[in-house]
Each structure stands twice: as C-alpha cells, then as structure tokens.
Amino acid sequence: MNQTRVFLLFAWLMVATLLYMEWNKEKEAANAPAPVAAATTGNAVPAAIPTAPASTTPNATTTIPGAPISTTATASGSEPVTVTTDVLRLTLDGGRVRSAELLRYPVDAKSGEAGNIQLFDPTPAHYFEAQSGWVSSSGPAPDHLAAFILLRDGVFNAKLRKYEADGDPWQPEWVCFYFINDAAAPSFVVDVSGYYEIKRRALACYRSQFARATGTAETRLNSPGFNQLIESRDAQFGALAGVRYAEGVVTTEPVVRDGLLK
C-alpha cells in the first residue's frame, strides 16, 4: 500500500469518528428528559406535564462534497455503527474500529482487477480491533512513551500461547531503544564512525520535519541547531568509547558478557 492510500485510509477513519461523535450528540439530545411544568397552588388544576417526544432512530445519509458517506446506526448506544463510502467500509463501536474493509481496491495494476481487502476482521478466528486514536500517556497529544507502551504490550502478548493471533508464539531475544533528540546514560554504544555520513543523508530526507517552511512556526526539530545537537551527542558517546561517533543504546535488562576481557 503506497503512502497516498495510507493517508486516505486514516483520513476516512477520522471522518468516520467525527460522524459517530456527532451522531452521539444528536442521540443524547433526543433522549434528554423534557422539563416539567410547575404545578399551581390553591384550587387550580395542576398544569399538564408535557410528554417527551418519542425518540427516533437515526438512520440518515450524510453527504460530504466529493465523498458520499452513508451512516447507519441503531437506537442503542452499545450497538456498532457502520460507515460506508465509495472506497471504505468501517464498523465503529464507541472509539474503536471493529472492522475495516477497502472497497474495490486495485489488486492487479496491469489488468485493472479490483477487489475488497479486509483490514480489521471481527470474526473470532481473525479477531483484531483498533483504537481510533493514539492515546497519550501524559498529555493531549500522542508521545513516544505511548509508543513504548504499545511495543511493551505487543512483546508480552506475542509469547502467550493462548493469545488469539495468527502464527506461532514468538519472543524476541531482547528489546533495545535508541535516542532521538535526547541523551541519557546508555547501556552500551555502537561505533558508527564509518557510517555517519549515511546518517546525515538519511536525516536530510525528512525535510518536512527538519526544515522550516515559510510561514510555519519554529520547533525544536526545525531549528538551525538541531543537527548540531544530534552530532554533538553522538560525538560525546564516541569520545567515551574512544571512537569518532557512536550511537547510544538503552536496554531494560542487564547486558550479559562472557567475561571481563574484550
């Protein structure tokens, strides 16, 4: 799947989530209790209590220019909602995507053959459920700590024999973490002096992050001194190891060696 299709997929996920949130607001407003008229005193006849209008089941078609979307929902809030467009069919349950299917996806570019591609399958044999938002661990925006928690849970679940997933149980030998733009005491370093020019060229490929475009705000990543920050850290790790440049690596478990001698 190329980058354009991945972007379109996530765009439709966002649209589907927004539609579901708006449908929830309308449903809650329809089910809100009607105000009760105050009763009069004395011998007057108490005012009649107005009855709440019967709630209707949302079953409407919401049209977005260029991308018609049909949304079908049931009256119960616990029931899933299905959103279908010309290229995607989603089943949402609260903030989760229970199933996703690409419609008329080009299977063979030469012949033009197209078919439906199942992304998330709710059947017990191939159960997979996705959350429609990457939740942050400490703030409103997703962060790298949230990514670590996803990785940690995935490594733990991968080794469980009773965990329902395709393939056999598997456990990695160990998990290593590298530095992005911070520095701390590494568990060990790797000499990368002979490959550092390749790293410079690789970082230069991400212009959207490291080069400030006209009219955009300055961030830590696109500031002029960011590359100097990275290289000075790698040079410091290298100096500690007696080489020109080194990458620091952190592990959550002790590094075992065969002996004291190198």
Q: Is 37 inside a domain boundary?
A: yes
Instruction: Check residue 242 and give its pLDDT.
Output: 96
- 121 and 20, same domain (yes or no): yes
Sequence-distant (≥ 6) Cβ neighbours of residue 252 within 8 angstroms: 175
Estimate the share of the chain in helix, then strand, then coil, as percent rounded to the nearest 5. 30, 20, 50
- 18 and 92, same domain (yes or no): yes
- 18 and 123, same domain (yes or no): yes
Instruction: Check residue 64 and give its pLDDT.
Output: 40
- 122 and 10, same domain (yes or no): yes
Q: Is 110 inside a domain boundary?
A: yes
Instruction: Please give the Cα distance from 186 to 203 (Å, whole number).
Output: 22
- 107 and 210, same domain (yes or no): no
Give the residue numbers spanning the domain of 27. Answer: 3-131
Handedness of CA 237, 241, 243, 249 (dihedral sign): negative
Q: Is 163 inside a domain boundary?
A: no
In the chain, which stretches have pLDDT less than 70?
1-8, 10, 12, 15, 18, 23-24, 26-78, 94-95, 107-112, 126-143
Instruction: Please give the Cα distance from 122 to 22 (Å, whole number).
Output: 24
- Domain final residue, candidates 131, 153, 184: 131
Residue 198 near residue 207, CB atoms below 8 Å: no
Instruction: Please give the Cα distance from 216 to 221 (Å, whole number).
Output: 12
Task: Kindly report the number of other CB atoms within 10 A of residue 8's CB atom.
Answer: 16
Q: Is 27 inside a domain boundary?
A: yes
- 9 and 117, same domain (yes or no): yes
Kindly calculate the radius of gyration of the chain based on its CA atoms and give it in whole angstroms.
28
- 120 and 180, same domain (yes or no): no
Q: Is 262 inside a domain boundary?
A: no
| Number of folded domains that form the chain | 2
Structure tokens at 139: 């703030």
Q: Is 256 inside a domain boundary?
A: no
Instruction: Check residue 238 and give its pLDDT.
Output: 96
Instruction: Please give the Cα distance from 127 to 157 (Å, whole number).
Output: 14
Burial group, residue 81, by CB count within 10 angstroms (0-12, 13-18, 19+): buried
Beta bridge partners of 91: 82, 99
Packing angle, helices 196-204 and 226-241, rounded to 10: 160
Q: Is 148 inside a domain boundary?
A: no
Q: Is 181 inside a domain boundary?
A: yes
- 105 and 217, same domain (yes or no): no
Instruction: Check residue 150 and give its pLDDT.
Output: 81
Closest CA to 87 of 98, 101, 99: 101
pTM reported for the whole predicted model: 0.46
Instruction: Please give the Cα distance from 231 to 175 (Å, whole number).
Output: 24
- Domain final residue, candidates 131, 151, 184: 131
DSSP 8-state code for residue 258: S
- 87 and 186, same domain (yes or no): no
Instruction: Please give the Cα distance from 128 to 118 (Å, whole number).
Output: 11
